[in-house]
């Protein structure tokens, strides 16, 4: 049985040039995943769980 992987990870976001806000990209490049998660939650309305899964970090409101 195969497991479906839904985790994208920050590396995939960095490759998506022009598709994510510059502030998120800068935070990821600086190793500040928590800051990137907070920006995504504020700008795109992601939940804590969604931002956590996307960036492999514990996101908080």
Candidates 23, 30, 25, 5; CA nearest to 13 is 25
Name the one residue in this structure whose structure tokens are 């992601």. 46
In the chain, where are the structural domains located? 10-55
Residue 52 is predicted with a pLDDT of 87
pTM score, whole prediction: 0.68
Phi, psi of 43 (to 5 degrees): -80, -30
pLDDT at 41: 92
What residue has token string 């920050």?
A: 10
Span 7-35, mean pLDDT? 75
Statement: residue 19 has pLDDT above 50: yes
Residues 22-30: contacts with CB under 8 Å, at least 24 apart: 28/55
């Amino acid at each position: 049985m195969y497991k479906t992987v839904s985790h994208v990870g920050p590396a995939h976001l960095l490759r998506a040039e022009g598709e994510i806000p510059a502030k998120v990209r800068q935070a990821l490049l600086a190793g500040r995943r928590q800051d990137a998660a907070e920006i995504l939650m504020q700008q795109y309305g992601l939940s804590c769980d969604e931002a956590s899964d996307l960036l492999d970090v514990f996101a908080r409101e």
